[in-house]
Amino acid sequence: MEIKRLDDYRWEIPATGAMRVPGLVFADAELIKEIHRDGSLKQVANVAQLPGIIGHSLAMPDIHQGYGFPIGGVAAFDFEEGIISPGGVGYDINCGVRLMTSALSVSDLKPYLTVLIERLYKDIPSGLGSTGPLKLSKAEIKKVLTNGAGWAVKNGFGEPGDLNHSEEGGAMEGADPEVLSERALERGLKQLGTLGSGNHFLELDRVDEIFDEKAAQAFGLFKDQVTVLIHSGSRGLGYQVCDDFLKTMMKAVNQEELALPDRQLACAFIQSKPGRKYFAAMAAAANYAWANRQVIMHWTRESFEKTLGLGPRDLRMNLVYDVAHNIAKKERHEVDGREQWVCVHRKGATRAFPPTHPDIPADYRHVGQPVLIPGDMGRSSFVLAGAAGAMEESFGSSCHGAGRVLSRTAARKKAKGRSIYGELEQQGIVVRFSGRDTLAEEMPEAYKDVTRVVEVVHQAGLARKVARLKPLGLIKG
């Protein structure tokens, strides 16, 4: 496949064959070598063949091969004439991350760190198929699917102010619980407030370095501060929605006689009946994920209070922001000099709206939307702020993490005979986990160096660096 270097951080896949638009990959010279090792660039070219695609088929520097669409891929489609695809959202609908600050410095936490991690591991259900203490009726879960994090706050899991610091206010419009299958609803009944497994985690960090004092101050960040990152999604409910609608979309593909380069790109026109039903189901699953992270955050606050014997006023555990990683959204963007409605698919990508954008909280509007980029268990994570370049080139999007370089199977093979737990412990990082295989799959070497990935989006002008976080301890499924 031909790929042209445009500058130090941009590479173009020219539109050839059935491609309707070119591909645009954000990467440096080292990262592009790693990206070439899997099939993700081919997937970028495949996405460029879908009806109604606008601008470029985009790839962030954390790109790697996924189901149909690459993970780390962004694609916008005309909202009237374009398609929507479950593979462009992913199985874990609205997998995402939220960041909390605290009033604690590292020295305040150190004496309690191990005990706190133990308590968090006890209080936050984690692991494959885990269920929690919340048992919802089907009538109640439909309220969750409609109201998202607002349901959680209304039922005592958090503060009203939390909603102001969440993408979409923690609930996406257009959700319709009635289009979900009985199986999807069943899978969601006992999993609200659970972390899950795979790459999901709850991590305590310290603010290691500040790059942008003005933005850090706006976000409430200071040097050596203790913060909390929570990474989880819509659990079995979201997985089932994706699985159900992939079958629906294949029927739509056959009926419309769409020529797809890959069956995993199954899709339907957004304005068709199956397209509208999927959008409504996806929005409902996204709302479940926002409620899930809200409940986990509430229990995290309680774990801190019980362990340190401090109240909410002393701990001041505030939500900085919550961002979605796997979602398709109706947004207004400028295309060829005029504004139009588009359906932006972000699969393993994060919204990164710049300063003054009306859809970000008023108290962040002078610096830009917080962009949260988790790294891996052993190195670092980053907080960035959305920049003007994202609106000009990536439909207001940035990368979502470091991106894998090893498959889960390859990571387990590389970890054989080693103690990943012991290696993290030697670095002073306290870890509690449910599955030894999961810990091996998520070993730091399984991921790209997040510092390099973040530097690309910073230098390309998609988002600018605000702060670096270093892990102190975490729980994993």
For residue 368, what are its two tokens? 């830009």
Pick the catalytic residue from 56, 298, 357, 400. Answer: 400
**What span, in angstroms and rounded, lies between the C-alpha atoms of 186 and 190?**
8
DSSP letter for 225, please. B
Distance, CA of 35 to CA of 363 (rounded, Å): 37
**Cβ count within 10 A of residue 122:** 11
3-class DSSP state of 400: coil
Q: Where are the beta strands (DSSP E) in 224-285?
A: 226-232, 268-269
DSSP states of 281-328 as a string? HHHHHHHHHHHHHHHHHHHHHHHHHHHHT--HHHH---EEEEEESEEE
Phi and psi (nearest 5°) for 129? 70, 15
Strands 268-269 and 71-78: unpaired
For the CA atoms of the chain, what is the radius of gyration? 21
Q: Which of 199, 240, 205 is nearest to 325 (CA)?
A: 199
Which residues fall within 8 angstroms of residue 14, CB to CB, at 6 or more apart? 2, 4, 22
**Does the active-site annotation cover 325?**
no
User: CA-to-CA distance for 403 and 450, rounded, in angstroms?
Assistant: 8
H helical segments located in 81-212:
106-109, 113-123, 138-147, 149-154, 160-164, 182-188
Phi (first) and psi of residue 98, to 5 degrees: -130, 150
186-197 in b/e burial notation, b at 16+ Cβ within 10 A?
ebbbbbbbbbbb
Q: Which residues are catalytic?
A: 400
